[in-house]
Amino acid sequence: MSDKATTPPIPDGPSRSWMAHLAAPENRVLLVRTVGIAIAVIALLFVFAEATAATPPSFFFEIILIQVLYAMSVNVLIGYAHLPSFGQAAFFGTGAYAAALSIQGVPLYASLMIAMGFSGLLALLLGLLAIRTSGITFANVTLAFGQMLYLVAANTNLVGGENGLLATIPSEITPQYLWLLIVVCVVGGCALIWWIFKTPYGETIVAIRDNPERATSLGVSNFRYRLTIFVFAGALAGLAGALYAYATGIVTADTLYWSRSGEPIIMCLLGGSKKFFGPVIGAITLTTILQQVGQGSTGYLIYVGGILLVVLILLPQGILSIPARVRELLKKRRPGPSGEGERTAAA
């Protein structure tokens, strides 16, 4: 006598190992594309690195790449999951400090893992408390959390206080190698994000964003998915922080300050949080401005403030929406057949 109250499991097809799944025909195209692009970009950047031969300009590019990774990780939350976290600096900074502390005793890769592990763990702890809330409350809870960490780091001697911690990488690691490491991590991280949102897990995250009630009605646990993506983003932010520590050689409390949480958000909105490469554009733009005019200076304030305001008012979808907007404008100029004959409604 079967229990009809539970839905009978629906057969899925012959089960295979995950590697076989990945290699299957439909997947192959996506997999090849992703890996191919990643390799191409890495190769290009490596060639570029060779050409510039580890001279000062590459520090600037290192920082840009790190900011790209950080901004992309923040967009996972802001753009894809609608979890407005104003405290990602907590994970960036934790990753940086963890890297600085661990690099003295363990090999480089272990240090990276430790940094990611710590930030991910911290994200898990915060998430367990905070994910129950949403919207502005969530933003403020995460903000408060980040600020608390900042104050502990800045005012106590736990992690070096005002002076911060040195993060000296072992001398066997040449600047070339570090550059390559950063390139691989950043491109790999972005590729990972690209991949994740093509999977059922990623689609579910987006679904929960679009309509949490519908997701629940389909049997999905919104909490679990939000929590896991929060941990994922936190770990990636920690990775960016660790790379930052290695690149700059010193970690200070400002890595945890809330403006360090605000910058990537600005980058995402500047470039466009709905487009995959939006945060990349935003990160490059903002970091370049920063380098040119210096943080906190009049120029920075006015340029960033001005550009941000203009973009938000005139280009709410960010810089990357310019092509689409141009197309729209051109369409309006040339009245033609009114598109499909299907019924449409204002969204």
> Of 12-51, which residues contact other proteins (CB under 8 A)?
12-13, 18, 21-22, 24, 26-27, 30
Shortest spacing between CB 5 and other proteins, in angstroms: 4
How many residues in the shown chain lie near other proteins by CB under 8 A? 88
Q: Residue 157, Cα to own-chain centre: how many angstroms?
A: 30
Please identify, using beta-carbon distances, which residue of 110 and 218 lies nearer to other proteins: 218
For residues 257-276, which are near other proteins according to CB under 8 A?
Answer: 258-259, 262, 265-266, 269
- For other proteins, the closer of residues 173 and 191 by Cβ is 191
Question: Between 153 and 240, whose beta carbon lies closer to other proteins?
Answer: 153
Residues 307-346 contacting other proteins, CB under 8 A: 308-309, 312-313, 316, 342-345
Tell me how far, at minimum, the Cβ of 232 lies from other proteins, in Å.
9
Q: Which stretch binds other proteins (CB under 8 A): 97-105, 170-178, 195-203, 319-327?
A: 195-203
The structure tokens listed for 1 are 């006598």
**Could you say whether residue 230 binds other proteins (CB under 8 A)?**
no
Which of 217, 329, 333, 337 is the binder for other proteins (CB under 8 A)? 217
**Within 107-146, which residues bind other proteins (CB under 8 A)?**
129-130, 132-137, 140-141, 143-145
CB 81 within 8 A of CB 223: no
Residues 283-312 that bind other proteins (CB under 8 A): 296-298, 301-302, 304-306, 308-309, 312
Residues 38 and 315: their CA atoms lie apart, in Å, by: 29
Residues 55-84 that bind other proteins (CB under 8 A): 78, 82, 84
Please say whether the beta carbons of 177 and 189 come within 8 A: no
The reply to whether 214 sits near other proteins by the rule CB under 8 A is yes
Helix, strand, coil percent values for the chain (each to nearest 5):
70, 0, 25
Does residue 153 touch other proteins according to CB under 8 A? no
What's the gap between Cα 233 and its chain centre? Answer: 6
Q: Which stretch of DSSP H or E encloses residue 165?
A: strand 165-166
Cβ proximity to other proteins, 57 vs 299, nearer residue: 299
Angle at Cα 213 formed by Cα 133 and Cα 137, nearest 5°?
Answer: 15
Q: What is the CA radius of gyration of the chain?
A: 22
The residue among 318, 299, 169, 182 whose CA lies nearest residue 243 is 182
CA-CA-CA-CA dihedral for 227, 233, 236, 242, to nearest 10: -90
Quote the tokens at residue 47: 């060639």
